[in-house]
Amino acid sequence: MNEITRIRSDFPILQREIKPGVPLIYLDSAATSQKPSLVLDSMSEYYARHNANIHRGVHTLAEEATELYEAARGKISKFIHARSHTEVIYTRNTTEAINLVAYSWGRKFLKPGDIVLLTEMEHHSNLVPWHILRDSIGIELKFIPVTADGLLDMAEYEKLLQLEPKLVSFTHASNVLGTINPVQEMARSAHRAGALVLVDGAQSVPHFSVDVQQLDVDFYAFSAHKMLGPTGIGALYGKRELLEKMQPFMGGGDMIREVRLEGFTANELPYKFEAGTPAIAEAVGFGSAVDYLTQIGMDAIHQHELEITKYAYSLLMNLPGVTLFGHEKQKRGGVIAFEVAGIHPHDVAQLLDSDGIAVRAGHHCAMPLHQKFGIPATTRASFYMYTEKSEIDKLILGLKKVQKLFG
């Protein structure tokens, strides 16, 4: 990661000026990451030379498109250390992947009164699907509390497991607090209690090495756009024996083996869950993003982010009038949410934008967590492999300017 200047040169958008003489300082990678030329070029190449529908055709373009699409699945499978590419289902994003589990597994295997155990730090994507399921079939939802310093209350978790939940679903890394949860330990405890485990990996797979077999999770969801890939595509990992027992998520072309007027027979994995023409170019871009991440090295990326986050935290912590959320000393993901006394986060973000600094303002799709801390919204700076310390320095200067403008 000493080659940060070379890495940044791979991202065309990082060369942009927001206005003349004001370079872009992108500190919003938790919302979506920027894309290297390798990803952009691979998608353009697909459309220029290989564009065709997949699986059904026998002509040259169809076979080339199918090969590219399935090769990307293989790369993704290897990247997260799945046992087989058949355990990787393409979805539109993490949200759809979690909804797939709630719909296809939950509606078949959960009954009224069954407990699904979540946490207070979840993104709405890992709350609302379970609310819908609760309202439709009568399951119960229980929540692992978040402590004052932004960690899960593990003692309370063990107590909640005594209620024998059917599923434990939680984020690997919080998009607000930066907390990296102990997935392997939590999965082990959940399995002892007889529960399956679903992990929201939207903020983890892009930032450090994830081995789904070592973690021994049953389902794992993540998005391409947060890991240098395109929007509109993500993935769900599921253990094969579970996926085979689940109902299809959507009906239509490609997810069937045979259709009769009186019924149908579902296709084999992974196509059973991939109805209709998929996001082919996006899958190609997804595969290229994995290539790029692999080339840089996930350990190097994680180490760089730890250093950048520690640097940013130390500077923000010493800025008068700024309150930080999340644990100070824990190794945390590249996310820092904060509050500037007397100034609404939207005002903070808008004024920083005038200096080319892109940060996020709001509840970050985690309203219950903000309610937990008694605040309506925060400002969030988030980092990635291409973030430089000089950009953190400019953030601090920008915040001082905001405070001065507000008196």
| pLDDT value of position 331 | 76
Per residue in 256-297, pLDDT (tens digit) is 889 899 999 888 999 999 999 999 999 999 999 999 999 999
- The residue among 252, 269, 295 that closes a domain is 295
Structure tokens at 80: 């997260």
> Torsion over CA of 286, 290, 292 and 295, rounded to 10 degrees?
-170
- The residue among 295, 312, 329 that closes a domain is 295
Does 113 reside within a domain?
yes
Catalytic residue check, 184: no
Instruction: Single out the residue of 213, 217, 253, 242 nearest to residue 100, CA to CA.
Output: 242
Does 371 reside within a domain?
yes
What is the total count of domains within the chain? 2
Per residue in 301-318, pLDDT (tens digit) is 999 999 999 999 999 999
Residues 167 and 264 in one domain: yes
Q: Are 189 and 160 in contact (CB under 8 A)?
A: no
Distance CA 182, CA 170 (A): 11
Q: Could you say which of 365, 367, 375, 396 is catalytic?
A: 365
Mean pLDDT (the chain) is: 96
**pLDDT confidence bin for 330, thresholds 50/70/90:** confident
pTM equals 0.96
Does 36 reside within a domain?
no
Residues 78 and 207 in one domain: yes
- The residue among 266, 295, 324 that closes a domain is 295
**pLDDT confidence bin for 215, thresholds 50/70/90:** very high
Residue numbers of the domain that contains 347: 4-30+298-405
| pLDDT value of position 407 | 78
> What CATH number has the domain bearing residue 390?
3.90.1150.10
Longest dimension (CA), the chain: 72
Per residue in 80-98, pLDDT (tens digit) is 999 999 999 999 999 999 9
Residues 160 and 269 in one domain: yes
**pLDDT confidence bin for 1, thresholds 50/70/90:** low
Per residue in 356-373, pLDDT (tens digit) is 999 999 999 999 999 999
> What CATH number has the domain bearing residue 80?
3.40.640.10
